[in-house]
């Protein structure tokens, strides 16, 4: 079984704790989130499927039911950081990408 290629996106320190950033990787807008100061990064599609806008990276990170979520800044739907599941309507979930930390670099698998 072949694995998706890994793409180095940015330095870990380029993502401030408690925030998200957007990166363009192989033509895909990817939202990268760093909920805490830990070296744990989550990656989701950046397109809000409800508004069809590239805004998820600017959403607010929060916790609900013991899971980390991002709330879209437009219509406030919640997407689970671990897998992109939409709390309000699973039919509108977004794709999640695998992430690894290589030294001080964030890499995602496409």
pLDDT (tens digit per residue) in 93-103: 999 999 999 99
The three state secondary structure string of the chain is CCCCCEEEEEEHHHCCCCEEEEEEECCEEEEEEECCCCCCCEEEECEECCCCEECHHHCEEEEECCEEEEECCCCCCEEECCCCCECCCHHHCCCEECEEEECCEEEEEC
The CATH class of the 6-109 domain is mainly beta
pLDDT value, residue 65: 86
The pTM of this model reads: 0.93
pLDDT, mean over the chain: 94
Other beta carbons within 10 angstroms of residue 93's beta carbon come to 18
pLDDT value, residue 1: 45
pLDDT value, residue 3: 63
């Amino acid at each position: 079984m072949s694995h998706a290629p890994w793409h180095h996106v940015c330095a870990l320190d380029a993502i401030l704790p408690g925030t998200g950033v957007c990166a363009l990787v192989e033509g895909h807008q990817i939202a990268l989130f760093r909920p805490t100061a830990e070296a744990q990064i989550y990656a989701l599609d950046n397109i809000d499927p409800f508004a069809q806008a590239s805004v998820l990276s600017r959403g607010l990170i929060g916790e609900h039911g013991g899971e980390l979520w991002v709330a879209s800044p437009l219509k406030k739907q919640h997407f689970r950081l671990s897998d992109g599941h939409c709390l309000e309507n699973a039919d509108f979930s977004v794709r999640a990408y695998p992430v690894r930390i290589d030294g001080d670099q964030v890499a995602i698998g496409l």
